[in-house]
Structure 1
């Protein structure tokens, strides 16, 4: 089941698996520390740019800057090998989430990208995330991120931490 809220709330909600999320939360502390290398990297990204940062224990972060998009330009996705910890660092965006059992897969699994594309689902739940807020999406959480939270596009700086699924 997807989790969302402040970083402190998410840390509490994942406390039963601290080893799995340790690298993610350590990295996020750096991202939100003014003047840190991670904060500087994210602030320097041009719109449309993504940088991969290797973390410990098989985790990595995708630091991103982009303009939010209209819902009709979005798509639902899920992953098998990684849990997404999506953290908005600057800006606001909407996300939608629905259980895997309620949506059809529309393309074959891309193992290299750990990516599955899914069909439309109008009964998805909508999340609104602002600066410092995050959502955790597990493999059963089909999600559509990067959506406009209002009528106009907004520049968002975000990090998606990919945490390996522990079998």
Structure 2
């Protein structure tokens, strides 16, 4: 099931995988003010996403957006990649539940690694703040990018995609 917390907490839980070590080294850099990665994320325009290749099939999607009302969120899950979602600035809510509790609404695999689910169940809610990250495995349906308050915050976030095959 999903992991979440500070970089130090999550790093301890994922210590064994070289792919996760690559992902977490990038996370450490992007969370460091003044670093090249941090500056690159700050330059992402609201509504845009940039892709950064990290090697060995690991990549990051650097994003800036206004968090959406919870009613507009969609349950999603991935089969090929594990998500490491990192809040760099702002805050948001994320919901999580086991995929077995949801019915698939749209299957965009294998062309895109995403499944969307029906909106008939509420999951556990995580309030994610700057410097925190959540790791979602293929069994974790998640509903990210939800506003934590009114007005909704500008969120700068990176989602590191780690191939499932590299950690098995």
**TM-score bucket (shorter structure):** over 0.9
Q: 1:45: which partner in 2?
A: 44
The reply on whether 1:151 has 2:147 as its aligned counterpart is no
The reply on whether 1:55 has 2:65 as its aligned counterpart is no
Which residues of structure 2 form unaligned runs of 5+?
Answer: none
TM-score by length of 2: 0.95
The reply on whether 1:6 has 2:6 as its aligned counterpart is yes
Q: 2:136: which partner in 1?
A: 137
TM-score by length of 1: 0.95
Cα distance in 2, alignment partners of residues 136 and 99 from structure 1: 13
Q: Superposition pairs for residues 4-43 of structure 1, below 5 Å? A: 4-15=4-15, 17-43=16-42
Q: 1:165: which partner in 2?
A: 164
Moved over 4 A (4+): none
Q: Root-mean-square deviation (CA), in Å?
A: 1.1
Cα distance in 2, alignment partners of residues 80 and 31 from structure 1: 26
Normalized per residue, the structure richer in strand is 2
Instruction: Work out the number of aligned pairs and report it.
Output: 166
How big is the shift at 1:71?
1.1
Which residues of structure 1 form unaligned runs of 5+?
Answer: none
Give 3-state SS (helix, strand or coil) of 2:103's partner. Answer: coil
Q: 1:125: which partner in 2?
A: 124
Give 3-state SS (helix, strand or coil) of 1:161's partner. Answer: strand
Q: 2:70: which partner in 1?
A: 71
Cα distance in 2, alignment partners of residues 27 and 158 from structure 1: 13
